């Protein structure tokens, strides 16, 4: 018994659905990656602006 037959069960030539899950997981990982990139870039810009305000306030105190 082959490894793929153990995982996927009996596979028909015209109906193969076992490999589709890898593509779906790849798409999900891609969407999560893009979402993290966009979300963290907004967070990074806000954090830089916050530190700019803190640095300006500390410069006025000195």
pLDDT digits 0-9 by tens, 28-48: 999 999 999 998 988 999 999
- Residue 48 is predicted with a pLDDT of 95
Q: What is the mean pLDDT of the chain?
A: 82
First to last CA, the chain: 77
Q: Is the pLDDT of residue 7 over 60?
A: yes
- Residue 54 is predicted with a pLDDT of 96
Domain residues of the chain, as ranges? 17-61
Region 7-25: what's the mean pLDDT? 66
């Amino acid at each position: 018994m082959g490894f793929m037959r153990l995982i996927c069960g009996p596979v028909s030539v015209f109906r193969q659905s076992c490999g589709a899950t890898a593509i779906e997981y790849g798409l999900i990982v891609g969407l999560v990656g893009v979402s993290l990139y966009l979300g963290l870039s907004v967070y990074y810009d806000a954090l830089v602006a916050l530190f700019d305000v803190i640095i300006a306030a500390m410069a006025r105190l000195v």
